[in-house]
Amino acid sequence: MENYGELLKKAREERNLDFATIGRETSISQRYLEAMENEETHIFPSEPYLIGFLKNYADYLGLDQDKIVSLYHAKIIQETPPPAALTAHERPRFVVPLIVFLCILLISGGIVAIYFFMKSRPKAVDPEVALKKPTVTQKYELKETPFTGRLFKNDQLVLGTDKGNIILTVAQTNDVFGLETPVGIQYVELSEQVEMDADGDSMPEMIIYVKDLSTKANDRGAEVNIMLKSAANAAISSPDESLIQGASEIPKEQRKAEIISDTRAYPFTLNVSFRAGCLFRYRADRKDVVEDFLANGDVLNITASNGFRVWMSNGNTAKIQIVANGRSYDIPISKAGEVVAEDIKWIKDTDGKYKLVIIDLD
């Protein structure tokens, strides 16, 4: 029997595609792409996510979606152990009467035990009433790890975008799950899985699956699974104060420019547009270093809480714009052929103000 993982891998290799390219074009992370080809179903948070990704991946590779999903189901059925009745051995004749006698004895004892237990136990609480809404509204930051939990009306979700964090507020949890977004309230039915575009850019940022809803009272809330389609949509946390350097620690001659001066630090975004080929390397906060060769017309949008370390093989090929607190700041373009190595980060000055500065690196 054909394996769906082998078909996906073969189709990808025939097209000479790598996981990084596919991930950018399908918004499916490399971790899940590899898991599908290796048939590692335990990697996925639930079966609906896996089937959705299988369909998207198969369609991208030009394969028959229904065939791939059918092969997946066939594998699951094949791996399921046969019913015990098919492998049971014939019992001796005397065993049946003995089992009947023991069952009658156990049932009689059980009835007596249940009677006394029911008389002594407190009055049962209606499960619809048992789940009460917390007294304080909760706020959850959506990260790369899927979110699973019960949300109540007015709870908030923090979603990261290339323009900064946006707040999504739970508007309804009875009969249907309603989420208030910048483009209006969007609804998801019970047992429905929806790819949601929260900011109206025609690119869904997350997948929402509703596991449970209340049909009697809003206080019961809604149990949901939420998975981001891309790590870029993880919420951006506030700057870590312990990582912000004091101005006195940095020689003045290294400070190339001061972009912002404010009473607080906050996340900011770099919009980098390229007009010629350039090797570009960056590190946001304390995350892993990312390196890529960008060509004419490529655009990069990246967000950090504390700052970036940037390296460019030719600073004249890229235009950098900083977006922070709703305002934009253009960074001067370097000379042709100049190698750029600099930090763009928050520092704290002696007057107590926070400054976003560009620091030249040796």
Residue in the structure block whose two tokens are 């560009």: 358
Q: What is the mean pLDDT of residues 147-169?
A: 86
Output the CATH code of domain 1-121: 1.10.260.40
For the segment 44-61, the average pLDDT, to the nearest whole number, is 85
Q: Band the pLDDT of 89: cuts 50, 70, 90.
A: low
Would you place residue 79 in the very low, low, confident or very high pLDDT band (cuts 50, 70, 90)? Answer: confident
Q: Which of 73-77, 126-130, 207-211 has the highest average model confidence (pLDDT)?
A: 207-211
The pLDDT, as a whole number, for residue 245 is: 85
User: Does the pLDDT value for residue 330 go beyond 70?
Assistant: yes
Q: Report pLDDT for 170.
A: 93
Closest C-alpha among 52, 58, 47, 49 to residue 5: 58
- For residues 49-63, give the mean pLDDT: 87
Residue 27 has pLDDT above 90, yes or no: no
pLDDT at 304: 85
pLDDT given at position 178:
92
**Rounded-to-integer distance, Cα 53 and Cα 60, Å:** 10
Query: Worst-scoring range by mean pLDDT, 8-12, 124-128, 177-181, 278-282?
Result: 124-128
* pLDDT band per the 50, 70, 90 thresholds, residue 345: very high
Q: Residues 29-61, buried b or exposed e (16+ Cβ, 10 A)?
A: beebbebbbeeeeeebbeeebbbbbbebbbebb
Give the mean model confidence (pLDDT) for residues 249-261. 81
Mean pLDDT across 96-112 = 82
**pLDDT higher than threshold 70 for residue 298:** yes
pLDDT at 136: 81
User: Alpha-carbon torsion 313, 314, 318, 321, what sign?
Assistant: positive
Give the SS3 label for residue 22: helix
Residue indicated by tokens 């004895």 = 105
Please give the average per-residue pLDDT across 233-252, as a whole number: 79
- Buried b / exposed e over 264-276, threshold 16 CB at 10 Å, is ebbbbbbbbbbee
pTM here is 0.44
CA angle 158–25–295, rounded 5-degree value: 105
Mean pLDDT rounded to a whole number for the chain: 84
pLDDT at 208: 94
